[in-house]
């Protein structure tokens, strides 16, 4: 069945204003998501925040069902957290690491995650070790398997890095982790909503994700998946009255579910909006979304490759909707600024975001253009024409 692009664009008001190729930053929200957020905010203004939350109880609880359906897990394995970084942090800092323990990660790891590694290494005497890439630019599964010993306590990788088009082989990494009985933390910030994700197939113990990118939800939303079997051995780095119960003057009791990783205060309007965004994606189906994004990105790369002076920097056997490039003699920031003057949205990936990867490739910055299913082939042509004028 053909993808209904006209309907997708009709329900995306932003398509009338901009050519939006910055979906890996924050995608354009569809109208049903925007409408539902506004409805709840109006209710808060009219009857009060607590009262609005009580009245929207079923809608709030439904968000957990939506996430569980999205990634094929149980609702009690989900925590709704304000962003993917904090979700990742809550998982990582709950893992008891000590002197001599080893953390294995990939060349494409994102800065926020790697900074957390370095902080824990400094405090505990654990070590962080980077598994090299294979010949395709993705994490080497052979090298990962050879690095395993009794001191490895965590494998943590980013599924889709912030730049480079790469889709790391998360399932193969999960197989290594399960065989060795090692905890596996997957940063799915840029893969969730872009492609089908099944935590049982991947085999991860934790998965962190955001709402604002390919799920097309509001900013300031995200979630954390924690496998039920792994949860029992973990205590979050900080607790409150929502995460635990104060059962005696000298004792508290953790919640039995993943909501022990949440905190009491939350933005109910955007939390509900996240659920609506997930339901909206599920109606399209993630298989259809992934097929559409992959095809459009392939077309996009092919047209960029025809432009003299443009160098593509995408890696991996499997590539996603993120397309990274440079232009000879032009800074990436200059390109982004010039395109913005024509209402074309892209972003810059800098050395500070993925230092290991970019230093290895001799790069300091890239233009990151990221397509979504509501983008059109005509927009790809318009983008390349605008880029040709820059050249």
Span 210-258, pLDDT tens digits: 999 999 999 999 999 999 999 988 999 999 999 999 999 999 999 999 9
**The predicted structure's pLDDT at residue 1:** 61
CATH 3.40.640.10 for domain 32-283, yes or no, is: yes
**The predicted structure's pLDDT at residue 46:** 98
pLDDT in tens, 353-384: 999 999 999 999 999 999 999 999 999 999 99
- Per 3-state DSSP, what percentage of the chain is helix, strand, and coil (rounded to 5)? 45, 20, 35
**The predicted structure's pLDDT at residue 86:** 97
pLDDT in tens, 193-210: 999 999 999 999 999 999
CB 187 within 8 A of CB 139: no
Spatial distance between the Cα atoms of 206 and 208, rounded to a whole number of angstroms: 7
**The predicted structure's pLDDT at residue 202:** 98
Full-model pTM = 0.96
CB 271 within 8 A of CB 59: no
- CA distances to 73, 145, 246, 383 from 174, in Å: 16, 11, 37, 38
Spatial distance between the Cα atoms of 19 and 8, rounded to a whole number of angstroms: 14
User: Both tokens of residue 86?
Assistant: 């904090």
The dihedrals phi and psi of 79, each to the nearest 5 degrees, come to -120, 135
- Sheet strands (E) in the chain: 19-20, 78-81, 102-106, 127-131, 152-158, 183-187, 206-210, 222-226, 244-248, 251-254, 310-312, 322-327, 344-345, 347-350, 365-370
**What's the gap between Cα 62 and its chain centre?**
21
CA atoms within 13 A on the CB side of 332: 19
| Domain coordinates in residue numbering, the chain | 5-28+285-390, 32-283
Q: How does pLDDT run along the chain (391 residues), one tens digit per residue?
A: 678 999 999 999 999 999 999 999 999 999 999 999 999 999 999 999 999 999 999 999 999 999 999 999 999 999 999 999 999 999 999 999 999 999 999 999 999 999 999 999 999 999 999 999 999 999 999 999 999 999 999 999 999 999 989 999 999 999 999 999 999 999 999 999 999 999 999 999 999 999 999 999 999 999 999 999 999 889 999 999 999 999 999 999 999 999 999 999 999 999 999 999 999 999 999 999 999 999 999 999 999 999 999 999 999 999 999 999 999 999 999 999 999 999 999 999 999 999 999 999 999 999 999 999 999 999 999 999 999 998 8
**The predicted structure's pLDDT at residue 233:** 85
Spatial distance between the Cα atoms of 141 and 179, rounded to a whole number of angstroms: 13
CB 320 within 8 A of CB 293: yes
Q: Give the right CATH number for 5-28+285-390 from 3.30.460.80, 3.40.50.2000, 3.90.1150.10, 1.10.10.10.
A: 3.90.1150.10
User: Both tokens of residue 391?
Assistant: 């050249």
């Amino acid at each position: 069945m053909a993808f209904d692009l006209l309907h997708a664009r009709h329900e995306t008001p932003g398509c009338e204003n901009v050519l939006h190729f910055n979906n890996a930053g924050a995608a354009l929200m569809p109208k049903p998501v925007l409408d539902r957020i506004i409805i709840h905010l109006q209710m808060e203004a009219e009857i009060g925040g607590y009262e609005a939350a009580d009245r929207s109880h079923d809608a709030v609880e439904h968000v957990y069902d939506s996430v569980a359906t999205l990634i094929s897990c149980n609702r009690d394995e989900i925590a709704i957290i304000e962003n993917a970084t904090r979700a990742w942090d809550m998982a990582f800092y709950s893992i008891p690491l000590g002197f001599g323990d080893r953390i294995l990660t990939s060349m494409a790891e994102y800065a926020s995650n790697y900074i957390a590694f370095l902080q824990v290494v400094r405090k505990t005497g654990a070590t962080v070790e980077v598994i090299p890439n294979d010949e395709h630019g993705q994490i080497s599964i052979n090298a990962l398997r050879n690095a395993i010993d009794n001191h490895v306590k965590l494998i943590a990788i980013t599924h889709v890095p912030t730049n480079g088009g790469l889709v790391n082989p998360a399932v193969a990494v999960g197989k290594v982790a399960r065989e060795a009985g090692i905890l596996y933390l997957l940063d799915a910030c840029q893969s969730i909503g872009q492609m089908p994700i099944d935590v049982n197939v991947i085999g991860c113990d934790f998965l962190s994700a955001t709402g604002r990118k390919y799920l097309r939800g509001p900013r300031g939303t995200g979630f954390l998946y924690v496998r039920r079997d792994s949860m029992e051995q973990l205590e979050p780095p900080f607790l409150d009255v929502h995460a635990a119960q104060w059962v005696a003057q000298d004792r508290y009791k953790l919640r039995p579910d993943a909501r022990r990783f949440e905190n009491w205060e939350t933005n109910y309007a955007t939390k509900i909006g996240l659920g609506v965004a997930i339901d909206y994606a599920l109606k399209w189906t993630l298989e259809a979304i992934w097929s559409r994004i992959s095809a459009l990105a392939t077309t996009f790369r092919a047209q960029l490759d025809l432009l003299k002076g443009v160098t593509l920097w995408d890696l991996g056997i499997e590539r996603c909707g993120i397309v990274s490039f440079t232009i000879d003699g032009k800074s990436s920031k200059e390109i982004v600024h010039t395109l913005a003057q024509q209402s074309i949205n892209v972003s810059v990936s800098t050395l500070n975001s993925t230092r290991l990867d970019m230093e290895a490739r001799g790069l300091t910055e890239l233009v990151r253009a990221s397509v979504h299913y509501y983008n059109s082939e005509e927009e790809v042509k318009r983008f390349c024409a605008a880029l040709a004028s820059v050249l």
